[in-house]
Structure 1
Amino acid sequence: MKLLLSFLTAFFIFFQSDLDELRNSYAKANLSNANTQAFINIAEKQSGSDVIITGYKAAAQIMEAKITKGNRKALVKTGATNLENIIKSNPNNIELRLIRLSVQENIPKIVGYNKNLKEDKTFILNNYGKQNTALKNYIKRFAAQSKTITAEERATLK
């Protein structure tokens, strides 16, 4: 029993550190092309079928269009379709909504992938209080630099 508990604890800590690394890299990804590439590399290394990691992988596909010389339209379309499908299957996952909100805020408007900004912002603000401390801090860091979340709305995130 102790061995099983130790294994589960180690697994949780390992997964959490991967998620923290992914979150931290994602938060810096738009600052430079090097940071974007670093985020893409970290996302690609992730294994498993966790929906949050899958959401970050979809965001990485979209962001790859920013730094590639290849078919940018196909990368955005594939990533956006993947992200939409994940959110459709997990509509109450606040972190997936945060990923979509940040992608839609930062993608050029001409692409046309910006239809869920208000919906996701409202969902995040309404469900913020139900989240754990780590996720609340992550949401607050995002809100501090968000173009969609107003100063008044940021003040409600405690």
Structure 2
Amino acid sequence: MTPYLLIGFLLFSIGAKQAATLDDLRAKYRTATTNATVCKQQLSKVKAIRTPDPLQQAYIGAYFAVWAKHADAPLTKLNSFKRGKKDLEEAVRRDKDNPEIRFLRLTIQYHAPRMLRYKDNIRADCAFIIKHYQEISPLQLKDNIKAFLLSTDLLTKEQRKTL
């Protein structure tokens, strides 16, 4: 019986650690867009995730894409963005009905320079997020989504009132 308790405890610990990591990734995502140090720290954390689920993979992609903004060398910027785009698209492919994944892709596409040609899903992702907005949790994520959407030109006046 003792080995089963040990295995159960280890599995619980791993699950709790992943949840804490996800909370951390959510909490610092907004700051990482303007703070290179925070972005670099978060990038180190996401690089350590060995077998990411779709949501973790979306955060990996988002942090790589955001890092492109902070990197100095043009080739580093491009490679980081490409890696981020690849991970984001794979995450969406794996779980297209997850509003958080679609939100992460929306933030990257909205701020991506036009020359990178990564803006194809902005309207669809925004519509999907608005449709599922009331179902989104935790509250911190919902607040991040609301703050982002209100800072853009993507919403109608009616949509702004309902958020």
TM range (shorter): 0.7 to 0.9
Gapped regions of structure 1 (runs ≥ 5): none
1:39-60 alpha-carbon deviations (Å, 9 max, x no partner): 3223223333211111111122
Equivalent AA in structure 2 for residue 114 of structure 1: K
Give the alignment of 1:63-82 within 5 angstroms: 63-68=66-71, 69=73, 71=75, 72-82=77-87
Give the deviation of 1:145 after TM superposition.
3.2
Give the deviation of 1:20 after TM superposition.
0.4
User: Is contact 1:25–1:38 with CA below 8 Å preserved after alignment?
Assistant: no
User: Is contact 2:54–2:94 with CA below 8 Å preserved after alignment?
Assistant: no
TM-score (norm 1): 0.81
Equivalent AA in structure 1 for residue 62 of structure 2: A
Larger Rg: 1 or 2?
2
2:130 is the counterpart of 1:125: yes
- Measure the CA separation in 2 of the matches of 1:87 and 1:54: 9
* 1:89 corresponding residue in structure 2: 94
* Runs of at least 4 residues off by over 6 Å: none
User: Of the candidates 149, 153, 162, which is equivalent to residue 156 of structure 1?
Assistant: 162
Gapped regions of structure 2 (runs ≥ 5): none
Secondary structure in 1 matching 2:20: helix
* 1:39 corresponding residue in structure 2: 42
- Measure the CA separation in 2 of the matches of 1:12 and 1:80: 27
Aligned residues: 155
* 2:143 corresponding residue in structure 1: 140
Equivalent AA in structure 1 for residue 162 of structure 2: T
Cα distance change of structure 1 residues 109 and 130 upon mapping to structure 2, 3 Å threshold: same
Cα distance change of structure 1 residues 13 and 152 upon mapping to structure 2, 3 Å threshold: farther
Question: How high is the sequence identity, in percent, across the aligned residues?
Answer: 23
Give the deviation of 1:21 after TM superposition.
0.6
Question: What is the aligned-residue RMSD (CA, Å)?
Answer: 2.5
Cα distance change of structure 1 residues 126 and 106 upon mapping to structure 2, 3 Å threshold: same
TM-score (norm 2): 0.79
Give the deviation of 1:143 after TM superposition.
2.0
2:32 is the counterpart of 1:29: yes
